[in-house]
A = this chain, B = another copy of it.
Amino acid sequence: MARAPALALSPSDSAGAGALPRRDKREAILGAAIKVFARSGYHRARVSDIAREAGIAYGLVYHYFKNKEEILETIFAERWSTFLAAVDGVSHRDTPAADKLVSVAALILNAYRLHPEWVKVLVLEIQRSSRFAEPGQIRAVSALMQAVARILRAGQEAGELRPDLDPDVACYVFIGALELVVTSLVLDLIRLDGTADDAREYYLKVARTVVDIFLNGLAAGGARS
């Protein structure tokens, strides 16, 4: 269900030792940037910090990226599209809407579990980058919404979901709920009791809770799943 591998940053997630084989140097910079952005925030992060983190020279960053902002944009473009592809894949499955929603929730939560720094940058920095207001970014975020909306619509058509609620609004409710949960995790606001000693189990549980609320509501008499 959790398709996390699709998000794996593969090797060179951070500065590797020894000479890196060409193209990996670029990845090293991106990985280092994610780390530094996650640690200090985009604006406070210095290009020199990124270079040091990547174990390369100052100016080399500018061989691979036009400027600091392009690094952020690249992180967004490359990682987000990977993530989006995973969500999209889920949305096209032929399973009950409930299952698909749990998958999406797990995808989001697992992304955080496995790559918390990436999610932190995505959540805290990219969204409010000046570029976020740009068509490209908006479209990228919209794509996620539409994937979820597609799931909801299919569920409505299958008679699994209430037909009276606009999927284009409801998807925001679903993603918004997950997002704040993730943000809270990012910011350490939620630190649930350690009953779930296995992290994977724990995040899955959270995913199910969110979906449960989303599907069945909080009103008494609910919980009909």
Contacts and interface: CB of A to CB of B under 8 A. Distances in A.
Interface of A: 40-41, 43-44, 98, 123-125, 127-128, 130, 132-133, 138, 141-142, 145, 152, 155, 159-166, 168-170, 172-181, 183-184, 187-190, 192, 206, 209-210, 212-225
Tell me how many chains of this kind the complex includes: 4
A123 B128 contact: yes
- In terms of DSSP, what is the predominant structure of the interface of chain A? helix
A114 to B, nearest CB: 21
Nearest to A40: B130
A130 to B, nearest CB: 5
A213 B41 contact: no
Contacts of A124: 127-128
A223 B141 CA distance: 29
Given A162-B218, A222-B162, A41 B175 contact: no
